[in-house]
Amino acid sequence: MIDSAGLHTLSAEWMLLPNGWHQHMELSIDKDGLIVSVGPAITPPDLPICIPGMINLHSHAFQRHLVGRTQRFSRPEDDFWSWRSRMYSEAAALTTDSQFKGAQRLYADMLSHGYTTVCEFHYTHGAVQRDNAEIPVLMAESLLRASESTGMRMMLLPVLYQQAGFGEQPLAPEQRSFGLDTQVYLRLIEHLRDESPRSPLQSIGYAPHSLRAVGLDSIRAVIDHRADTAPHAPVHIHIAEQVREVNECILAHRKRPVEWLLDAFEPDSSWCLIHATHMSDPERRQLIERQITVGLCPTTEADLGDGFFPLSRFISEGGTWGIGSDSNLCVDPFQEIRLMDWQQRLSSRRRNAFKMDALLSVATRLYLQACEGGRRASGMAVGRIEEGSSADLVVLSDHHPLLDARTPDDALAACMYSGDKSVISQVYTSGRPRLQTT
């Protein structure tokens, strides 16, 4: 229903609000897709069970094309670094058209699985001439067009990538299309923010690729530019994903990666550290103190043999985390959280690895926490059903046999530990339906 002020309403038998489940609730949504009120419904509900859409805080869209093509191993020691060689060949073949079409298919698939926001960590600039900004603009705009065409909300994170390893190693030939001069990179950010056509669903952030791929002076230039032009924009960076990376950082800087980053730049809650798999206890405690989000990508980290993050301890100490699909081997947030929980159960040899009470299911608690981490990492008003947030919603099916005769808390647990996208009946971004399967 749309009233004279341009508001429309959605109601549900059950809604997952930031403080838990509420029955028979109604949202008022304005013309810009923002929730202006949440309260008891006065009419029969439109929807059965409604939860906030999930934020995918780390995606490399082009890597979706690698799915199924990297599972044949030629050597016993095949690992992340050998996988990376195949990834380079895929990146080299990209054009603006193939990047657009691949991302469009990917984002539609993400929406069908319950992601409503994606943070696209984009380094396929196609710039063999490092001082030429024209092609990088077109490659970035192809991703913006893909998200707009599907209705996927996006935080586009153009990536600064300049060296092949610690010690200012020059880019290898297969990495040249990732590399940009620092000033070209900053002009790219400005162009995308100020001149490129963007929808209200889209924002621009910063992403130095990693400590091994960007030197101290270049990261400092990025942070200074952000302070001058967009002080609240998110900053994302890969860090401490591999043991080899940690060891090389210690050799180069006499500090571990997270330790070095914290000392050099004093990151705050607008930063998101992707993976951060191999941290020391002091590093982990500092992230928690500074309210820095850790971006976990369990299916990719498992596929690449990275190791797994000590999440139960991180949560118990008050850490903030979210989930991403990274290589897009999997684009299902339920599966990402499921695997992450099972990793902790296997490690601790207990089912209640997070030592949670029985007031809410583990599934509901973890889902809400992942939404909060994604909200912070994206810098957007997403991941909550509350006044002032975007009406990005996922509706669970009212006729799926897996959810039959269950409380909403048990229904979400069934989705997380046994479901797939067939448990989702509708997806909304900005209060507009983007997917309906029934």
Cα–Cα separations (whole angstroms), residue 302 to 272, 338, 392:
20, 13, 29
Distance CA 14, CA 51 (A): 9
Tokens of 284: 């982990």
8-47 core/surface letters (b: 16 or more CB in 10 A; e: else) = bbbbbbbbbbeeebbeebbbbbbeebbbeebeebeeebbb
What residue has token string 């992340």? 80
Distance CA 392, CA 34 (A): 9
Known active-site residue 60: no
Nearest to 125 by CA among 175, 164, 170: 175
User: What's the number of CA atoms in the CB half-sphere (13 Å) around residue 314?
Assistant: 30
DSSP sequence for 113-147: HTEEEEEEEE-----SSTT--HHHHHHHHHHHHHH
- Could you give phi then psi for residue 101, rounded to 5 degrees? -65, -40
136, burial (CB in 10 Å: exposed 0-12, middle 13-18, buried 19+): buried
231, burial (CB in 10 Å: exposed 0-12, middle 13-18, buried 19+): exposed
Known active-site residue 209: no
Distance CA 135, CA 332 (A): 32
How does strand 424-429 pair with strand 393-396? antiparallel
Q: Which of 125, 236, 238, 275 is catalytic?
A: 275
Nearest to 415 by CA among 428, 393, 397: 397
The stretches of 27-181 forming alpha helices (DSSP H) are 80-92, 96-113, 134-150
Q: Which of 303, 326, 332, 341 is catalytic?
A: 326
Which residues does the annotation mark as catalytic?
275, 326
